[in-house]
Structure 1
């Protein structure tokens, strides 16, 4: 008997309830740090570690002799590198003139004519270009989502922005005319007197249209619009990229750009768009500074207030074509390459206080010549090269 079996009809499988596709676009970029001697040759960068304590001490001293004990106990707050104020003052005889005190032969110091002249010039530049200099602080506050910044954090940024360090303490400065106000709230930072203070804007940033970032202005200059905003890249000498990193970098340039002044709450943390925003925020931040550079550790206090990721310092290592890490005497400085390598083809404006900083650096280099002359038995007097107003011939070469 022949068995006839009917083929069993195959029923189509029901459609899946959901299809989950997980896309991993993150590329683990690890680049070896390469030294670039051209940045070490810029005096205002190579002397940056000593420049801030030198100017701070110059503001404390006067043209008349002062005992070193009046400033020696402030070495920690001034962040003198060797922690000994007397040794630091003796390193710069072109700025600080030493003499013996009337009792016990203790060292006294006074400002040289050149240093006193530079202090006057610094005040004059701030008075003449106040709107430009104070406007940089305003842009920093506008970069904060709350349009506020703890007063202590803002105080720490004054040196980098070229604003006098007594800007908030001296009522003569009148910060209200620049559009700022000091707020007391529960979200601020305790100033030690039981109060919590923040720096805010009188108009809370509502009466003015948000400014364009430097990257957006670069795009407008190059393409006529800011629809696509690439980041200017500058090849690091001797640095070769793997093909997968090159491909990632090309895709990174095509990502959507979020301005530091825009709302970023819709961006998913850890995404490539979030990383591009972090690069843009740090790019804009450094472009506001006098030398377009800063110690990396000093930027850590801005992480929470600018909406940066937890390990945002890795951005400097992942993008060596945008930032350069200058390692100097156990200190790491972040330098914005565009400011020094674009050769004028950039929207970054030179800070009004930059020329004064260069003259301070020239005093530091003259001090080295004086010390070398003393060691060789041939003292070199450089005071005659400085006019009575403290102006010095500008002989500093920069990359720009």
Structure 2
């Protein structure tokens, strides 16, 4: 059983914050804030297509990892839940002819699928990215774990954040990732397996802290935490109520508590505790590939990161820091800063290759459109069969 004292692995927040009544009180004005739609954030392509892309890459990996580099539909037809596909697997694969190539297999006259040459080349590029960016990916995983209460997370939580962090499917055994000795597997409560990080005492700085130091022209050294404010990027035409604006000005002046520091001395209902939660969400989304995540997927983090029961309200109370997109029948929380100030947050190394997969998905739409336009007729006007519709799983 793992037992780590937070006192020894985290820098105490009280060591640099004067926890007087002024910082421990709750002053939030509960005034209704109208949600303002922003077409820019609603139409970021790699966020819009993220869910579907996740299924595409999962199926791509299944084919690429097969010794024969091809699979019969029978081997995956019952795995719709595993790949998060709402239709038949065969139907889903046929939506992307620029990625998946269908052919009649050697057994039972069943449809088989293999990767197209373009998808095979992109898979090679993707593996190269994982290899060349292994240190960056390990660092993102390490930071996620270091933000937790005891520097340890259940493997199930890490698995749930894998897509957002940009980790390969086999990140635990991947030779590219090659988890170093700072990571170790541990037993947590109730027999849960966890992944822990050994804290070496070096101070971990958040993106906000690093950017503050850069702006003040002093690389390295201590940051005056009381001076750190969140960059605000309001949507065009969005105006807050006067009471909210006044509260926000005071909120910005509160001490900043890094998500990597101990927060046990904070009153959970205080404004400074809320600033710590907002800082945690800011840093978390900075680590993610698309700087966004489905809001409901973040709710499972509450227990392990000391988040309040209604942590989702933080996104709503700070519309100039986060944007909530309601596209694709879900609520996606997006960090505004990386999209409004591209130099402030480092681009995730996996984002580029994901955009290339999205381009192949768009190419598939053109192929299918072309097929529909010419479907059923040859130059002589003779009806032909569409072999893609001949097989069903």
Shorter-chain TM range is: 0.7 to 0.9
Unaligned runs of 5+ in 2: 1-23, 218-222, 377-393
The answer (yes or no) to whether the contact 2:138–2:177 under 8 Å persists in 1 is: no
How many residues in Structure 1 have an aligned counterpart in Structure 2?
345
The answer (yes or no) to whether the contact 2:130–2:176 under 8 Å persists in 1 is: no
1:198 corresponds to: 194
The answer (yes or no) to whether the contact 1:30–1:318 under 8 Å persists in 2 is: no
Cα separation, partners in 2 of 1:223 and 1:171, compared to 1, 3 Å: closer
Listed as ranges, the matches of 1:185-334 within 5 Å are 185=188, 187=189, 195-201=191-197, 204-205=198-199, 207-224=200-217, 225-227=223-225, 228-334=227-333
1:67 corresponds to: 72
Cα separation, partners in 2 of 1:34 and 1:371, compared to 1, 3 Å: farther
Deviation at 1:114, TM superposition (A): 1.6
The answer (yes or no) to whether the contact 1:65–1:99 under 8 Å persists in 2 is: no
Cα separation, partners in 2 of 1:236 and 1:307, compared to 1, 3 Å: same
Give me the whole-angstrom Cα distance separating, in 1, the residues matched to 2:27 and 2:69: 64
Cα separation, partners in 2 of 1:24 and 1:287, compared to 1, 3 Å: closer
Cα separation, partners in 2 of 1:248 and 1:163, compared to 1, 3 Å: same
Could you list the per-position Cα deviations for residues 49-90 of structure 1 after superposition, in whole angstroms to 9, with x for gaps in the alignment? 20111100000014744211211222102212x242122111
Give me the whole-angstrom Cα distance separating, in 2, the residues matched to 1:378 and 1:214: 53
Instruction: Specify the structure having the higher radius of gyration (Cα).
Output: 1
Which secondary structure state, in structure 1, belongs to the residue aligned with residue 214 of structure 2? helix
Give me the whole-angstrom Cα distance separating, in 2, the residues matched to 1:102 and 1:72: 18
Cα separation, partners in 2 of 1:240 and 1:171, compared to 1, 3 Å: closer
Q: TM-score, normalised by structure 2?
A: 0.82
2:114 corresponds to: 110
Cα separation, partners in 2 of 1:178 and 1:156, compared to 1, 3 Å: farther
Cα-Cα RMSD: 2.3
Could you list the per-position Cα deviations for residues 323-372 of structure 1 after superposition, in whole angstroms to 9, with x for gaps in the alignment? 1112222122111110111132x1x1111111111111111111111111
Which secondary structure state, in structure 2, belongs to the residue aligned with residue 75 of structure 1? coil
2:17 corresponds to: none
Give me the whole-angstrom Cα distance separating, in 2, the residues matched to 1:105 and 1:329: 37
Q: TM-score, normalised by structure 1?
A: 0.81
The answer (yes or no) to whether the contact 2:232–2:321 under 8 Å persists in 1 is: yes
Cα separation, partners in 2 of 1:256 and 1:284, compared to 1, 3 Å: same
The answer (yes or no) to whether the contact 2:131–2:177 under 8 Å persists in 1 is: no
1:42 corresponds to: 44
Unaligned runs of 5+ in 1: 1-21, 189-194, 380-400
Deviation at 1:103, TM superposition (A): 5.7
233-242 vs 174-183, which deviates more?
Answer: 174-183
Given candidates 177, 182, 195, the residue that maps to 2:180 is: 177
Which secondary structure state, in structure 1, belongs to the residue aligned with residue 346 of structure 2? coil
Which secondary structure state, in structure 1, belongs to the residue aligned with residue 195 of structure 2? strand
